[in-house]
Amino acid sequence: MGRILIVDDTMFMRTLLKNILFSGGHDIVGEAADGAEALAKYQELKPDLVTMDVVMPKVNGIEALKAIKAADPAAKVIMCTAVGQEQMVKLAVKSGARGYIVKPFQAPKVLEEVKNVLSA
């Protein structure tokens, strides 16, 4: 199971993801509320995987993804996006995201995507 950093600007979404991932046996090593905090926490905690919201204040998920991948090209990041944000998903994948999950989250799909990315 993986050591995971959850990045989302809303506490509700972080808690929801934390509960899903915890139920799948994963260890939540940290949380961040924006992209700038995500980069700092990534460098401090060295997680196996990051779940990253796309739309956040200050530094958005795409910019944070690019910064994390610049610091660690092997970083595994899964983007969290709302239905209808296909262009953002394509941009995220071009920027180095290993996968994505769609809100509203469905536990089986979240756990399957995390498993696939961690095993890749």
Closest CA to 30 of 57, 13, 49: 49
The number of domains in the chain is 1
In terms of C-beta density within 10 A (0-12 exposed, 13-18 middle, 19 or more buried), how is residue 10 classed? Answer: exposed
The predicted structure's pLDDT at residue 56: 92
Contact criterion met (CB below 8 Å) for 66 and 97: no
Q: What's the CATH code of the domain at 8?
A: 3.40.50.2300
The predicted structure's pLDDT at residue 87: 85
Note down the domain range covering 105. Answer: 2-119
Can you list the alpha helix ranges (DSSP code H) found in the chain?
A: 11-23, 35-45, 61-71, 86-94, 107-119
Record the pTM. Answer: 0.95
Contact criterion met (CB below 8 Å) for 16 and 8: no
Q: Provide block-wise average pLDDT over 10 residues at a time, the chain (120 residues).
A: 96 97 97 97 98 93 97 97 83 94 94 96
